[in-house]
Amino acid sequence: MKHFISLFDCTRDEVLDLLSLADRLKRERRAGVVHPLLAGKSLGMIFTKSSTRTRVSFETGMYQLGGHALFLSSADIQLGRGETVADTARTLSRYLDAIMIRTYRHEDVLDLARYGSIPVINGLTDLQHPCQVLADLQTVAERKGRLEGLRLAYLGDGNNMANSLLHGCAKVGMDIAVATPAGYACDPGCVEEARSDAAKHGSRVVLTDDPDEAVAGADVVYTDTWVSMGQEQEKAERLAVFEPYRVDVRRMAMAAPDALFLHCLPAYRGYEVDADVIDGPQSVVFDEAENRLHAQKAVLVALLAGA
């Protein structure tokens, strides 16, 4: 694994190995084991989108692994003032051991990998969010003891989260049902890739506009904000369109009795999810948020320490 850009690019074994490594790093960290696996290594973190979990988890993860993280906002580097992605990639490759980028255009991540000579990690783009889904899979496996054969329901916008959940579930043999309103479907390329993996690993991909159909009997119920960064001007329209897709107590009761509720955060109670659900006993959103740290540490170690 040279880069971590999309879960579709990984083999099934690579994903499972990352999850196993994340579990071990988490367990040993809690036991007081020190992991100086990336001593002397530097990670450049490029942000053109603001962040809480991505910045703190990557920066803390590099520190815990003995390395160093540099925060590079678009206001502070020449990339935000007209320098090409190619020139930025070539330059940073002379200084750093890896680059993590959280940005809008997925093509920028691909170009960093194409023109640079060091590993590139996709911290989020408008198309995909693979780091989050790796943490999601870790969280589900911790609670359920397995991934293969489970069923995840995603309700809401067919956005970067939905696209990467399609990839992640199909890769590990989980069924996934995605319910989106007309005009807000997942990326067709990501759907095709997920269906290809699902056929290999014995799982199903279901796309529907009916949230009740998607959630019926699900082991995991997942949603995301209806208004992502950069979509603020569409807020009123989006709130009206997505209102029927809210995850409330009634809808959670349609899932399996022991179903988990997941959300990548930040969450907006009263919109995509009711407070009774996200703050209720089936919610594991803060375990999920914590696992961003452990899952991303596993990615860093795999890319930079050859684990």
Positions marked catalytic: 102, 129, 132, 224, 264, 292
Q: What is the 3-state secondary structure (H, E, C) of 162-205?
A: HHHHHHHHHHHCCEEEEECCCCCCCCHHHHHHHHHHHHHHCCCE
12-30 helix and 285-304 helix, angle to the nearest 10 degrees: 110
d(CA 148, CA 160): 23
d(CA 54, CA 293) in angstroms, rounded, equals 9
Q: Which residues does residue 247 pair with via DSSP β-bridges, in sequence order?
A: 273
Bond before 266 cis per omega within 30 degrees: yes
Sign, CA dihedral 242-248-254-260, equals positive
The tokens for 223 are 């949603």
Contact predicate 167/198, CB 8 Å: no
**Whether the Cβ atoms of residue 181 and residue 157 lie closer than 8 Å to each other:** no
Give the strands of the sheet with 260-263, arranged side by side: 205-208, 175-179, 151-155, 220-223, 260-263
Tell me the three state secondary structure of residue 259. Answer: coil
Residue 178 contacts residue 158 (beta carbons within 8 Å): yes
| Residue 232: how many other CB atoms lie within 10 Å | 9
Please report, as a single letter, which amino acid is at residue 81: R
Contact 161, 264 (CB under 8 A): yes
